[in-house]
Amino acid sequence: MKATSQSREPARDPRTETRVAAELAGGQLGHPCVAFTRVSSTMDVAHQLAGEGADEGLLIVAAEQTAGRGRAGRSWMSPPGGLYLSLVLRPQRDPAEWPQLALVAGLAAAQSVPKLSKKQKPTIRWPNDVLVDGRKLAGILTEAKVDAHGNRYVVVGLGMNLTTRAEDLPDVATSLTQLLDEPPAIWQMAARFVTRFERAYCDWHADTFAAIRSELLPWISLFGQVVQITTPTDTFEAQATDLDEQGRLLVRLDSGIIRPVDVGDVTLLR
């Protein structure tokens, strides 16, 4: 791992850094770990350090963000009690395939959730949300850029509600403290996610998305449902039917035509 400059953010959390490092010892990802009790955005810190040449595997972790963001630059509520992390990657794959990493991360996030009471199971809402009982528990963000040396990289971000109070969340969201008697600590959940992500990432990197697709399919909650799809160019209704081997959502239009969707927001209608 190359040396990187440290962020100027004031609220460093060395205890979390030490615990995450111990949990991830022996793995390829998650080193070094730079943790904060509060930061503007883990994505911004990751991009700063990646832009300066940080190697693959750099992990940024925070318990609160003051300027978090989601897809398309939307504001992301990041109150205290959450897990907010960003992971720097430099995949040796065609950059056209890098958007698939949102689904790789979604799979890892769903698998990271401890067994819930009442036999609840997390589900994935294509392309980047993890839900429990239809309420959002976690979201994924991926952003690709070029560093100071002209090398492309991607940052994968995760936001998950751990001990966030119900009153600090919108009605459409939930947290692990509402689902478990003893939710994991932030360092435990960070390590759980990175461990599972590394396994899936290695499979994706060595093979094709097809290896991930077979694991991912049982977690997708939309199949057979009527949804509204909003893409950069249009909005339409269709029935979600499958996920293809490029990670695109396949939907059936009223005409019977199967249309692949590679970018868009999905809303369940009925």
Residue 236, strand partner residues: 229
For residues 37 and 128, state if they share a domain: yes
- pLDDT, one tens digit per residue, over 13-24 is 999 999 999 999
Regarding whether 232 and 207 lie in a shared domain, the answer is: no
Residue range 170-179, pLDDT digits in tens: 888 899 998 8
pLDDT (tens digit per residue) in 196-224: 999 999 999 888 888 899 999 999 988 99
200 and 185 in contact (C-beta within 8 Å)?
no
Assign 64 a pLDDT band (cuts: 50, 70, 90). Answer: confident
Task: Establish if 8 belongs to a structural domain.
Answer: no
Q: In this structure, is residue 5 part of a structural domain?
A: no
Report pLDDT for 71. Answer: 56
Q: What is the pLDDT of residue 9?
A: 45
We report the CATH number of the domain holding residue 252 as: 2.30.30.100
Examine residue 110 and state whether it is found in any structural domain, yes or no. yes
Residues 147 and 238 grouped into a single domain? no
Decide if pLDDT at 1 tops 50.
no
Count of structural domains within the chain: 2
149, pLDDT greater than 70: yes
In the prediction, which pLDDT does 169 show? 83
- Is 4 inside any structural domain? no
Is there a single domain that holds both residue 122 and residue 192?
A: yes
pLDDT band at 264 (very low <50, low <70, confident <90, very high): confident
Q: What is the pLDDT of residue 27?
A: 93
Same domain, 197 and 233: no
| 231-246 per-position pLDDT tens digit | 888 899 999 999 999 9
Of 178, 201, 218, the position where a domain reaches its end is 218
- Same domain as 157, residue 247: no
Instruction: Please check whether residues 141 and 226 belong to one and the same domain.
Output: no
Q: Is 1 among the domain residues? A: no
pLDDT at residue number 166: 81
Q: Give the structural domain span for 232.
A: 222-268
Closest CA to 148 of 50, 5, 56: 50
CATH number, domain containing residue 85: 3.30.930.10
User: Pick from 201, 218, 235: which residue ends a domain?
Assistant: 218
The H or E element that residue 36 is part of is: strand 33-36
150 domain residue, yes or no: yes
Instruction: Dig out the tokens for 53 from the structure.
Output: 């040449």
Classified as helix, coil or strand, 258 is: strand
* Structure confidence at residue 263 (pLDDT): 84
- If asked whether residues 181 and 227 sit together in one domain, one would say no
Tell which of 176, 202, 218 closes a domain. 218
The answer to whether residues 57 and 112 belong to one domain is yes
Examine residue 70 and state whether it is found in any structural domain, yes or no: yes
Q: What is the mean pLDDT of residues 103-126?
A: 88
Residue 131 lies in a domain: yes
**Is the model's pLDDT at 69 over the cut of 70?**
no
For residues 67 and 190, state if they share a domain.
Answer: yes
Mean per-residue pLDDT of the chain:
88
Work out the average pLDDT over 80-106: 93
Same domain as 234, residue 209: no
Helices H / strands E in the chain, number of each: 5, 12
Residues 209 and 86 in one domain: yes
Q: What percent of the chain has pLDDT over 90?
A: 62
Phi then psi dihedrals of residue 195, to 5 deg: -60, -45
With the CA atoms of 89, 94, 100 and 105 taken in that order, what torsion angle do they form, in degrees rounded to the nearest 10? -20
HSE at residue 96, side-chain half, CA atoms within 13 A, is 3
